[in-house]
Chain A
Amino acid sequence: MIEVKTEQVLDALRKVQDPDLQRDIVSLGFVHDVRICEGNVAFEIKLTTPACPVKEKLEMEARELVLKIPGVEQVSIKMTAEVRSHQTLEKENLKKVRNIVAVGSGKGGVGKSTVTANLAVSLAMDGAKVGLLDADIYGPSIPTLMGMQGETTVRENLIQPKFAHGIKFMSMGFFAQGDQPLIWRGPMAHRAVEQSLVDVDWGELDYLLIDLPPGTGDVHLTLVQTVGLTGGVMVSTPQDVGLMISMKTLRMFEQTNVRILGLIENMSYHLCSHCNGREEIFGHGGAKLASERLGIPFLGEIPLETAIREKSDLGAPIVISLPNSPVAKTYRDIARKMAAQVSIAGYSGSKLEVIEEPV
């Protein structure tokens, strides 16, 4: 009987690289609780997100490498996740919100709210604690998408978010009078957005996604002044990706020092409902090209698919109402890529400065 040592196990696991963080899982501190009993080795791999795009791959590599150690007969791995906090938030009841991600678009109607809702539910389906804030003061649509209207209640001075499809959500649409939505302007809008973020009983969240109004503007400024955003995601269609209007939104993120987590192309191609064949839409692929040129991660492309709208209109995002559809899979992949970018953002801390050297 050959004795297996903890150091040997760790050495083997040092060969497993996290492709997103570009470092091995041992020095990243992912490996915990190594237990060895005769030929049986057990340990835990704690990832930075339950929505990890390479969870299976890491697990398989780890298993294979440890099995190669002489004397090892059996390996059992417990895969867990702990989302790291990226925020420095003073606001008391946002303290337990670990990451805030704003979703923007250059213009209206590109499917930003649909994408945001589906991504939020996707992350929750992977086991994350998720919140969704509809900060669209012009056309709040999350209550419809999530199938829950009506006013919110207040408990202990905090607005109680609604809960559906596994996520907590809050909408500017809840500040309505009767069936008339309120129209916000200037300082009132600022205060309302701030309130819908800060005065809400979010509790503990791994990700809080924010559906921004289209374009650039005051709501974004309110957000960056109120909380530290982990980053921003940009949704565009093949028709508007190359336009100045999309670039403006990207620049707004940049100018306010919000890290761009990635670009998503929506209504990218058409999936034929008869044969599942892919019909390309003119200009499709522009977001991918643009992201390559700008050095921004590309998170994925979503087809134009009637079922997406139908399910949204019925109040249940397609990822949960048709979980086995190809489109649901696409959304979930995108959510995982986004989660990976959030993890990367959490790891790249130290800031560069430009040193001026007179000559």
Chain B
Amino acid sequence: MSQPYQANPLSENFPLPRELRKLGRKELKITWQDGHLSVYGFRYLRTQCQCAFCVEEITGRKLLVDSCLPEVLEGMGVSVVGQYALRIDFSDGHNSGIYAYKHLRKACPCELCRPAK
């Protein structure tokens, strides 16, 4: 093996992050292996939580009501989980969600990824 290889554990051609940056408590910036850049506000990430409290496990139906979240919601800490996800500590005390890279990429709020908005 000449160079380290980043296999994608999620197969299905989803890229993995190349770099993870936490900008204060406001934003998370992910540069993906394919070069794409995603910038997420922590409040937005909180609304994307997939944990069992926020999303019904079998159906995937969202249980969390975004408007019930505090106006100001910050990211206190971000840590890498295994080789495929992040865990985020939010200022509202919530931290049970696992943010799979695959989901994070799908949830990228940039204009290219969200042309409808």
Q: List residues of chain A with CB under 8 Å of any chain B CB.
A: 19-23, 29, 241-244, 247, 251, 253-254, 257-260, 283, 286, 289-290, 293-297, 341, 344-345, 347-359
Contacts and interface: CB of A to CB of B under 8 A. Distances in A.
A350 B84 CA distance: 12
24 contacts: A23-B7, A29-B1, A251-B98, A254-B81, A254-B82, A254-B85, A257-B81, A259-B84, A286-B58, A290-B57, A290-B58, A294-B100, A295-B100, A297-B9, A297-B10, A297-B11, A344-B9, A348-B6, A348-B83, A350-B4, A351-B80, A352-B80, A355-B19, A356-B21
Q: Which of A258, A259, A286, A354 has the most CB of B within 10 A?
A: A354
B17 to A, nearest CB: 6
A296 to B, nearest CB: 8
Interface stretch (B22-30, B41-49, B65-73): B22-30
A24 B70 CA distance: 49
A93 B34 CA distance: 42
Contacts of A20: 7, 11
A22 B8 contact: yes
Nearest to B20: A354
Contacts of B17: 352
Interface of B: 1, 4-11, 13-14, 16-17, 19-24, 26, 50, 52, 55, 57-58, 60, 78-86, 98, 100-103
A295 B98 CA distance: 10
B4 A354 contact: no
Top-3 shortest CB links A-B: A295-B100, A359-B24, A242-B58
Contacts of B14: 295
Given A289-B58, A359-B26, 11 more contacts: A242-B57, A244-B57, A259-B82, A297-B10, A344-B7, A345-B9, A348-B7, A350-B4, A350-B6, A352-B20, A354-B86
Nearest to A346: B7
Nearest to A286: B58
A60 B82 CA distance: 35
Contacts of B19: 352, 355
B22 A357 contact: yes
Nearest to B28: A354
B97 to A, nearest CB: 11
A21 B9 CA distance: 9
Contacts of A357: 21-24
Nearest to A295: B100
Contacts of B7: 20-23, 344, 347-348
Contacts of A353: 20, 80
Contact of A354 (B1, B78, B102): B78
Contact of B98 (A29, A254, A345, A348): A254
